[in-house]
Amino acid sequence: MKKTKAEAEETAQVLLQTAKRHFAKNGYAKTALEDIVKDSGVTRGALYHHFKNKKGLFFAVIESIQKKIAQDIEQQASRGSEQWEQLSIGCRAFIKSAIEPDHKQIILIDGPAVIGWNRWRQLDANHSMKLLYSQLDQMQKNGCFSSLSVESLTHSLSGAMNESALWIAEQGSFDSLDEAMCVLDVYFEGLKQTN
């Protein structure tokens, strides 16, 4: 019996959520497709139909996490009353989301190694960095800082946040998040001075 489009999408989502749990808990190398299929209650054929192979499934999981992180950033940043506050809140939301236990293993540890650094960076660019660029571009247009290269600034801040997330993940303490944000706030104060 042929599945409807909605049923097929539901199957794909079940596989994604199950795979996310397995990849987060066991890491990519120790995750078996058989376990994902069994826990999802679907056939191996369904997994291959939707994702082709383990690496394709892993890529889809990373992309779904990147989308969720971007949504979290937008939601959190919108709470700020002015643009500098929105920028700071958005940066904090990115780091906090990246270091969540079910994201850390997939995004920070396995992601670059499994899908390759260039593909990993492209996913980041399509989601979180895109939001960061948009925020900085709007801030520059509103005169919040001088005519620095927004593209260069976006890459610099993104790099700082990715490194901060890795460092915090290694520390295993959310106290390190506050320390990282203090450093970013110093960057922002310096950026304000360029105006």
pLDDT in tens, 8-51: 788 899 999 999 999 999 999 999 999 999 999 998 998 999 99
Closest among 195, 192, 6 to 87, alpha carbons compared: 192
Distance CA 17, CA 63 (A): 12
Q: Mean pLDDT score of the chain, rounded to an integer?
A: 91
Closest among 106, 119, 30, 118 to 64, alpha carbons compared: 106
pLDDT in tens, 156-181: 999 999 999 989 988 877 788 899 99
**Cβ of 102: how many Cβ atoms within 10 Å?**
13
Confidence grade of residue 2 (pLDDT, cut at 50, 70, 90): low
DSSP conformation letters of 113-129: HHH-HHHHHHHHHHTHH
Angle between the 5-26 and 33-40 helix axes, to the nearest 10 degrees? 130
